[in-house]
Amino acid sequence: MDLLGSIMNSMDKPPTPSEKERLVMKKRKEEFEKRKTIEKGKFEKFKTDIEEKFKVYFKDPKNAYLKFHPMDNIYRSIVHEVAETMGLISYAFGTDGVDRYIRVYRRDMPPCEDELAARRRGDPWSEQIKQELIEKRKNDKIEEEEYLKRKPEKFVPNSNYKDKYAHLIGQDAALEAAKKTETNKTYGFVPSENKKDQRSIEQTMADIRAKKRLKTSHTSTDASND
């Protein structure tokens, strides 16, 4: 006999339930199955009632939606399932476990996005609110179109910047000062008309040589006079 077999044989076997315990367990299982059957029957009846309710209510084309009172998650799931099966649209609003409820709509008369957003926020909603919102958006669109049609007016400054210094240096001097502040649009090489010295390079070199000769001659004359 190996070691594992020896250990297993030495272990105590789990106690077998007594006849009384077996009866208790059997009774609990039967009660559970009974409650399960009852709950299943309740859900099946609820589903049948919802189907019949939808058939009767939405048979009238004037009935656009149907609101349910708050209910548990399992019942809401049944309503959603029946609505989808019958070609309807269902939405749940409110807080789960508190006031979560369902609204079912005809597929050809669904709620608008504004209504869905308002109900999800918990805000009130009615046909009057809907019409007011439509009217407001219409007016906003008209105002925007009128604004885009208007041409922008030419900007006219309140004062001439050249007059700012006129009382200090005179009108003519102010005009000249303003001209000097204008941006020089010429970049790169400086135009010849902007240079102080208008002579060419050759003429400049010739004038320099002439000055040197003149200076040399003056120096010689002064030396001979001494």
Nearest-CA neighbor of 46 among 68, 78, 71, 91? 78
At the second CATH level, the architecture of 18-111 is 2-Layer Sandwich (3.30)
**What separation in angstroms does the CA of 104 have from each of 54, 79, 170, 180?**
9, 9, 84, 78
Mean pLDDT of the region 118-123: 93
- Amino acid letter for position 172: D
State pLDDT tens for residues 135-162: 999 999 988 888 888 866 666 666 665 5
Q: Where are the domains of the chain?
A: 18-111, 154-182
- pTM for the structure as a whole: 0.53
Distance CA 99, CA 102 (A): 10
Give per-residue pLDDT as tens, 187-225.
455 555 555 556 677 777 878 888 877 777 655 555 555
Which residues, including other chains, have CB under 8 Å from residue 122's CB and lie 6 or more apart? 93, 94
- Give the chain's end-to-end CA distance (angstroms, integer): 147
Q: How confident is the model at residue 2 (pLDDT cuts 50, 70, 90)?
A: low
Q: How far is residue 166's CA from residue 185's CA, in Å, rounded to a whole number?
A: 26
* Integer CA distances (angstroms), 2 to 5, 8, 174, 226, in order: 5, 10, 119, 143
